[in-house]
Each structure stands twice: as C-alpha cells, then as structure tokens.
A = this chain, B = another copy of it.
Amino acid sequence: MSATTGPKLSRRERLRAETTREITAIALRQMAAEGPGAISLRGIAREMGMTARAIYSYFPTRDDLVTALVAEVSASLADALERARDAAPATDPGARLLAWGLALREWALANPEGFRLVYGDPVPGYEAPAGGPAAEAARRVCCGLNRLVAEACAAGRTTSTNAANNANDAGNAEGFDWSDFPASYLDKIRADVDDLSPSVVALALRVWGRLHGLVTLEIYGHLGAVSTDPAALYRAEMLDLVGSLRSAPA
C-alpha cells in the first residue's frame, strides 16, 4: 500500500523503511512461532545483530511495535476475507457470505497466533490505541460483513414469497434503534450500503458473533475436547445462518 507514494526518498529514508520492515517481519515470525507473548525487542535485536536499544529509533516502545503488528495482521485478514468474498459470484449474496465466513475460519486456522494477536490479549498489558490503522482494518472486517448481511437480507426479501409466515425467525422481534450504534460506525457502513435498517445492523453484529464464537473456541482449543470435526460444526452454522437470512428483517 506504499510502493507508489513517490520516489522522493533519500537514501537514509530508504534504509530506515527497510529496517522497519525487517523489524516487523522478524516480529511476525517470532509471533507465528512462539505466540504473541514471545514478541520481544531484545529477541528481535538479537536476531538482527543489533543492540536492543537500537529498536527504539523505530518503535519508541514495545506497544508501538505491537500496534503496528496488529495493523498489519488485521489488514491481511481483511484482505483475505474480501478476496474470498469476491471469488464468489456477485449475483449470489448467500454464496458470498458463505465464502466470507469460511475464509474467516480458514485464515484463523492458518494464522492462529495472528488471530490471537488481533482478537485476544495481544500481549500481557497492551491497550489498543483508539483510532489508527488497526481500528481501520477492524472496521473493514465489520463493515464488510455488514454489507454482505444486508445484501443477503435484501435478496431474500425480493425472492422469498413466503416471507410473512416466518417473519419472527430472525429474532428481530426486539426493536433496534439507530441510537444502538455509534454514528461513526453507521457512517462507515452507509458508505457501502444504502438500504439499511437498525435491525440489519444488529443482525450483522450477531452474525459476526456467531462466526467469531466458533472460531475463537476452536483457536483457543476449547473445541478439541468436545468435537472431532470443528469444520463440520462451523459449516453447519454457516449454512443455517445463510439460510435463515433469506427470511430477514426489514
């Protein structure tokens, strides 16, 4: 996302950028190998043949490094999800949602430590900064899902003829209000989808919870003792979910 931002970089700046990339690359490798908690400035410096203190020219504190890693990893997740979604036919919202959801689990299984970094305790005492590239990537995920859910709902509404008799299926008996969601989030969504209702926004978040729940349980090892085929479990959940969206709230 940067290679084309102009060649007006002095030699120093180029070296600096390269060193920065090397630091994050080593950190990501250490994380993938030993978990997010194993990320250490000293370890990175050792591997680079530098003093630990040298890292501080690039990241003033370890949390800043972690922040950069979170941003990078969550952007890669968002990329993977959007790629999977776009691989499905644009005319079939259900298939797109299905692909998105399956890709979420597959990405998590392929990058379990990355998943822990983004969605778990990144590191003993880390507090994520409010705005920033990490938050932006998180919103990409959330808004992307919202759009898919909205599209699936809309498609269900136009094709399904018996939408009346099971209108209570999707659990929208509870009325949601625009005030149930931060304006900043709604603005972001509206950039993607016009036909929006509070119920759909709430539904998308609930869908997110369903996917996130099974993935989290699996990644953190809580499914191992109770299921021998988490993939089937996840797939069943996704099929149920996509199916139920055809009878969706207005």
Contact = CB atoms under 8 A, between A and B. Distances in A.
Interface of A: 34-38, 116, 119-121, 123-125, 128, 135, 138-139, 142, 166, 168-174, 176, 179-182, 184-185, 202, 205-206, 208-214, 216-217, 220-223, 225-229, 232-233, 235-237, 239-241, 243-244
Contact of A228 (B37, B179, B210, B214): B179
B236 A176 contact: yes
A227 B210 contact: no
A168 B236 CA distance: 12
Interface of A is mostly: helix
A34 B125 contact: yes
Given A208-B213, A210-B210, A212-B216, 15 more contacts: A36-B121, A37-B125, A119-B220, A121-B121, A121-B220, A169-B244, A171-B237, A174-B235, A176-B232, A180-B227, A180-B229, A182-B228, A184-B225, A209-B210, A216-B216
